[in-house]
A and B are shown apart, each in its own frame.
Chain A
Amino acid sequence: MFTVAACTVVVALTLAVARALKGPTVFDRILAGNAIGTGAILLLAVFGFLTGRPEFLDIGITYGLLNPIGTLAALKWFKYGDIARGFDEDTGEG
């Protein structure tokens, strides 16, 4: 069962990588990057169960905490051209 799950996760990762290479806009690539991050977490967890070494889950938690931060930082960079700037008080856009 874990073998099937691991194979599926690998296939899903491959499809996400294909979208990241193909993506017409930068947001498609960021979306694919986020999906790749989640797939990597799931692959780590499944692989830990497959080999009987649950230490992989700790690495998975670390990836899980870093993945959204990386996504949000990349989004902020492409939205404002600056990671440090907040939302604009004049227009209310953010």
Chain B
Amino acid sequence: MTDLLSLIIGGAFLLAGSFFLLVGALGLLRMPDLFTRMQAASVGETLGGSLLLIGMMIHGGFSLVTFKLVVLFAVIVFFGPVATHALARAARYAGIEPQLSTPPAGRPVGAPSAETAAKATKATKATKASKKARLTPAKARRKPAKKKARK
């Protein structure tokens, strides 16, 4: 009885995991830009992978196999999001902009519209001025010390 029950529940988990894995892979192939692809892929990896592993744990019962599956589960759940986060950060650092919406004709993808661009330049000017006031003295103090240390 319990055997049959574990078979059914484990099978359901396996099927659900397969579904999410497939959806994540489809999103990885079909999504329009890097960040949406990243989101789809991380869902497929984390949710699909962990559901598959939980299904296998239920099949495995209380044994060494289940312990190994728990280790694998922890590795996937901890390292998957870390790698995705590092990837998003590196992509932003490299200058890849997320595509926020479908732009009207005549404007290149990723370029801001006229009013948001005006707002953005105003805001950056203001923050740049205040940042300069804050940052320059500290930098001036720090730089000579650094040169000494490097020599």
Which residues of chain A are within 8 angstroms of B28 by Cβ–Cβ distance? 15-16, 19, 31-32, 35
Map CB proximity to A onto B93-126 as digits: 1 under 8 Å, 0 otherwise: 1101000000000000000000000000000000
Q: Do most interface residues of chain A lie in helix, strand or loop, or is the interface mixed?
A: helix
Identity of the chain A residue whose Cβ is nearest the Cβ of B26 in the assembled complex: A15
* Inter-chain CB contacts under 8 Å: number: 140
Bound together, the chains give a CA A94 to CA B28 distance in angstroms of 26
A1-55 interface with B by 8 A CB criterion:
1-2, 4-5, 8-9, 11-13, 15-16, 18-19, 22, 25, 27-28, 30-32, 34-35, 38-39, 41-42, 45-46, 49, 54
- Within 8 Å by CB of B59, from A11, A41, A49, A58, lies A49
* Contacts A5-B14, A45-B69, A49-B56 given; does A12 touch B49 at CB 8 Å: no
Shortest distance in angstroms between B72's beta carbon and chain A's nearest beta carbon?
6
Identity of the chain A residue whose Cβ is nearest the Cβ of B143 in the assembled complex: A90
Which residues of chain A are within 8 angstroms of B139 by Cβ–Cβ distance? 90
Bound together, the chains give a CA A60 to CA B56 distance in angstroms of 14
Does the CB pair A41–B22 fall under 8 Å? no
Bound together, the chains give a CA A37 to CA B61 distance in angstroms of 26
Count of residues in A whose CB is under 8 Å from the partner chain: 45
Interface size class of B (residues with CB under 8 A): 35 or more
Does the CB pair A27–B94 fall under 8 Å? yes
Q: Would you give 26 A-B contacts (Cβ < 8 Å), ordered by A?
A: A1-B15, A9-B52, A15-B28, A15-B29, A16-B29, A27-B87, A27-B91, A27-B96, A30-B87, A31-B34, A31-B41, A32-B28, A32-B41, A34-B45, A34-B80, A39-B25, A42-B49, A45-B52, A45-B72, A57-B68, A58-B68, A64-B79, A65-B75, A68-B82, A71-B83, A78-B94
State the A residues within 8 Å of B (CB). 1-2, 4-5, 8-9, 11-13, 15-16, 18-19, 22, 25, 27-28, 30-32, 34-35, 38-39, 41-42, 45-46, 49, 54, 57-58, 60-61, 64-65, 67-68, 71-72, 75, 78-79, 90, 93
Task: Please name the 4 residue pairs, one residue from A and one from B, whose CB atoms are nearest each other, closest first.
Answer: A12-B25, A8-B18, A68-B79, A64-B75
